[in-house]
Structure 1
């Protein structure tokens, strides 16, 4: 996409959140800071809701610290150390184990004094991949800094959190938005952008997103940038499988050629920039593979895909499991 993402330029305020129960719970957390577990399906708006909470609670944007768990557990030590968000925490600590690096970043982030006000907010996003040893370290940090830090854990699977953490947090369930709620959000975004639209175009994009609000907004942006308007025909042309299949073909070619970094960049673009789910990408990987392979090699890929599909169904990180599939293809 050429310009800034609409998901960022049209980030909701607390009053904009479509679910009254979520609005009320987060409003209470502004008035009386407390640790939270926000849980719900992918694309339900958990991260956007926490950011809205932070904007309401803090005068400085620096008082919201976001730590995406995938950024830790799916990366190597070198990648973590070189990430500009974490580099300042890890200067002179290259001999640390990966686990110690992660724990050190968490402790340092929690120890920082708030820029304004009396407390700051730390968001641990995609927390379904957090290992138990890290959760134990997190529990100790939560105990030590409870007066100056509000911890918010966003996850698809709250049952994977250990009881001592769950007992220290107030639960905020975030359901998938209804079709009508997605249409209403899309209407507000395209009108704010001054983009022409038709009602059936918004309906098509909402149906294409299948309850994933982030994917719906990015789908509307893709359609608007491609056709200049969000209509039924424009959305059908812009959001068909052609773009997905083309990128998947390039991704598989890179993986099989041993260019794993390029293949993973393509995977990140599909998951993050385009908003596809892991299941959609895996399905297209199999469709593309059937046109490229046969016999034993195709059977091997189906076996790997079956293992990945089971992992995806368990709700863990799509990026980790699909990247594992790409790495296996490059062997």
Structure 2
């Protein structure tokens, strides 16, 4: 599903050409991104995401066998970062264990190239209060220090909106809709810094 449409068309022609002598097994995360001609030539098997308890169990087994010093709380944080992807969770755990004697939340977020939720939350709280300059500077510093993309930031902002205090559920819904609009602009190729700056400027006007 990471292939472009043109690359998928080329793959389709290869599948058609060698259909009598070759079988293809394709793995993807987003079936909707696979073109119909390829989907129609395949038998689709859909697998559910692993449950949180199962992922945490595997991570704990690996940690104990490899003598990795990590708490259950940090393992739960790794699960949230990986969004149930066990392969990604194991990679984050492994990389974090190399960087320090003890795996901490800070190491985990550094390895995953993500900002700590409290950093994003602080930016949003400043924006909602109308302190645009501080919110913008803090957000841009966070992006640069963690090497994040605009879409990465948008996804974290969307998640942290739910945790904001002192704003109504109705306002949170409007904020999420607003974030979706700016995400679309970034996907379409707009400058991510300009869009994020504009997004923060809109936050304190949402009430």
Q: TM-score, normalised by structure 2?
A: 0.51
Is 1:126 the counterpart of 2:2 in the alignment? Answer: yes
1:239 to 105, 108, 121: 108
Give the unaligned 5+ runs of structure 1: 1-124, 252-265, 271-277, 287-304, 313-320
1:143 aligns with 2:16: yes
The reply to whether residue 195 of structure 1 matches residue 68 of structure 2 is yes
Q: Deviations over 1:283-305 (max 9, x none)?
A: 5699xxxxxxxxxxxxxxxxxx7
SS at match of 2:19: coil
| Counterpart pick for 2:184 among 302, 305, 310 | 310
Rate the CA distance shift 1:205–1:156 in 2: closer, same or farther, 3 A. Answer: closer
Question: Is the alpha carbon distance of 1:135 and 1:280 closer, same or farther for their aligned partners in structure 2, counting shifts above 3 Å?
Answer: closer
* Structure with larger RCO (C-alpha < 8 A, sep 6+): 1
The reply on whether 1:155 has 2:31 as its aligned counterpart is no
Which SS does the other structure have where 1:218 is aligned? Answer: helix
Deviation at 1:141, TM superposition (A): 1.4
RMSD: 4.1
User: Which structure 2 segments of 5+ residues have no match?
Assistant: 116-140, 159-178, 196-207
Kindly state the Cα deviation for residue 138 of structure 1 after the two structures are TM-superposed: 2.8
Whether the aligned pair in 2 keeps the contact of 1:226 and 1:238 (CA below 8 Å) is yes
The count of residues paired between Structure 1 and Structure 2 equals: 149
1: CA distance between counterparts of 2:27 and 2:185? Answer: 19
Aligned to 2:176: none
Distance 1:311 1:179 in 2: 33
More strand by share: 1
TM-score of the pair, normalised by structure 1: 0.35
Distance 2:76 2:153 in 1: 23
SS at match of 1:181: helix
Structure 2: distance between partners of 1:213 and 1:226: 20
Q: Does 1:282 align with 2:177?
A: no
SS at match of 2:54: helix
Aligned in 2, Cα 1:325/1:147: closer, same or farther, shift over 3 Å? farther
Q: After superposition, give the CA deviation of every residue in 1:169-191 in whole Å (9 maximum; x if it has no partner).
A: 11121332211121122123323
